[in-house]
Amino acid sequence: MWDERLKNFRSIRRGLQQVVAEIADGTFGVAYRGSSLETVVHSIAEQRQIFKGADHAFLWKPKLRIPDIYESPANQKAFGQLLDTCLCCNTEEHVVSAIHAIDARKIKGLGPAVANLLYFLHPTIMPPFNTAIVKGYNALTGSKVKLGRWEDYLAMRQGILKLNATYRSLLSNDLGAIGGLLFDLGSGRYSAPPLENDKTARELWEADLYQVREQSAKEARILAAERETDHTHTEIQGWLRDLGHSLGYDVWIAANDRSRPWQDGKLGDGCLSVLPGFTTATQGAESVRLIDVLWLDRESQRIVAAFEIEHSTTIYSGIVRMLDLALGSEAQALEGLFLVAPDKREADVREQLRRPAFSRIADLKVRYLPYGALEKDRASIARFGQSMKPIEAISHALTPI
């Protein structure tokens, strides 16, 4: 799953860059609802269960006048400066220094919950933060960390880094791993081992742990069985690759997917190894090269169609990559942008596209291509189809054309 996580991390980074730009330009607004920040935090909340309530800290609470980044322009700019500094820096010292700077302003409601944003900028430096993670840390270590203060978060962070280093072979340099462990302890999924050296207590804990592991294994088997009935992300990419070649297009496979096994070879076999027109100096090039499948006209080498497959991950990141392509500096011959997903996800896609942050996408030819239609009609299209017309015929318009 690391490749998919990288895609989502990059998209969230792009979203936070937009938040910073809007604050700097004075266009961020005075409300959370409908803001670029809401879009980013919503995407973070989709990543995994531990981020489910990530938006609570940023919701406007008028009676408490928090968080005070909607009424105070100075505080809003300070928040933007924190994000901007952490977007640009790459050392632990710079990140911690930026936190001390924002803490010194004592902005109401802008405490350690912001660490959930910073985690997605620096996953090896900043652990995520919420009530369950704090409870899990206290249960595991016997500490008494309290919620709501940056100094307590930074102290807990030091302890988490030491734990992570001690058990590094079981965890990861991505602090989301130990964050997930602490969340499971704090939410009651697992019990923390007894702090005292008591044999009886240890045996009882091990018995409880065995039962929890048995239940987890059962749930994993059920999930695996459900996934077997669905098509894999790679399979859909393979269908689109072969279909693009049949229709006479050159095909680009996402840079981080080309080496994936597919049929008797690799997914990138027979596809472009370099994406024409997108050098390291091209704005948004890194994001565009991660689009799942691109079809290019063989003569002009311009991109004709882009396909983002939203198999089980957040829809947000795919939309951001589409925008980077459609609104980028390199002129393309785009005839269609397609979000490819299971038939049942169409409502989710439409809901995302209604967000104000994606208002510019309304002018683009964005279509929804369901798995079912692609599976049913791809052989006929490959045999009898020409140009983009048959793909458009089996897809649904998502925005006015």
150, 95 contact by CB (below 8 A): no
User: What number of other Cβ atoms are within 10 A of residue 174's Cβ?
Assistant: 17
| Residues forming beta bridges with residue 10, ordered by sequence position | none
Q: Which stretches of 266-384 are DSSP H helices?
A: 285-288, 315-326, 346-353, 371-384
pLDDT score, position 229: 43
Q: Compute the distance between CA of residue 401 and CA of residue 391 in angstroms, rounded to an integer.
A: 16
Classify 389 as helix, strand or coil.
helix
List the structure tokens of 330.
Answer: 């390199």
pLDDT of amino acid 334: 80
3-state secondary structure 203-219: HHHHHHHHHHHHHHHHH
- Taking only the tens of pLDDT, the chain with its 401 residues reads 456 677 778 888 988 999 999 999 999 988 888 888 988 888 888 777 788 888 888 988 888 888 999 999 999 999 999 999 999 998 999 999 999 999 999 999 899 999 999 999 999 999 999 999 999 999 998 888 888 889 999 999 999 999 999 999 999 999 999 999 999 999 988 888 888 777 776 777 677 667 767 776 777 776 665 554 446 888 999 999 999 999 999 999 998 889 888 888 999 999 999 998 887 666 667 888 889 999 999 999 999 999 998 865 566 777 778 777 877 656 566 888 899 988 887 887 787 777 766 666 666 778 899 999 999 999 999 998 888 999 999 998 886 54
CA distances for 214 relative to 156, 192, 209, 210, 217, angstroms? 31, 17, 9, 6, 5
Please check whether residue 310 is in contact with residue 321, taking contact to mean a CB–CB distance below 8 angstroms.
Answer: no
Q: Rounded to an integer, what distance in angstroms lies between the CA atom of residue 261 and that of residue 250?
A: 20
Q: Which tokens belong to 21?
A: 């730009």
Helices marked H in 229-275: 233-246
Best CA proximity match to 90, nearest among 44, 124, 138: 124
SS3 for 141? helix
| Residue 349 to residue 335: CA distance in whole angstroms | 20
Q: At 367, phi and psi to the nearest 5?
A: -130, 155
User: Quick one: pLDDT at residue 318?
Assistant: 76
Q: Which residue has the tokens 């632990």?
A: 92
For position 267, what pLDDT does the model report?
A: 93
35 Cβ contact list (under 8 Å, min separation 6): 19, 22, 28, 29, 356, 357
One-letter amino acid for residue 338 of the chain: F
Position 204 scores a pLDDT of 72
pLDDT at 401: 47
User: According to the 3-state scheme, what is the secondary structure of 146-187?
Assistant: CCCCHHHHHHHHHHHHHHHHHCHHHCCCCCHHHHHHHHHHHC
Residue among 254, 266, 377 at smallest CA distance from 306: 254
Which tokens sit at 85? Answer: 């500094």
User: Residues near 343 by Cβ (< 8 Å), separated by ≥ 6?
Assistant: 370, 371, 372
Task: Using alpha carbons, select from 76, 80, 82, 47 the residue that is nearest to residue 60.
Answer: 76
- Phi-psi domain of 361 (left: phi exceeds 0; alpha: psi -120 through 50; beta: other): alpha
Environment class of residue 47 by beta-carbon count within 10 Å: exposed (0-12), middle (13-18) or buried (19+)?
A: buried
CA nearest neighbour of 369 among 391, 385, 401: 391
CA distances, 207 to each of 48, 158, 200, 201, 361 (Å) = 28, 31, 11, 10, 54
Distance CA 118, CA 116 (A): 6
Contact 291, 257 (CB under 8 A): no
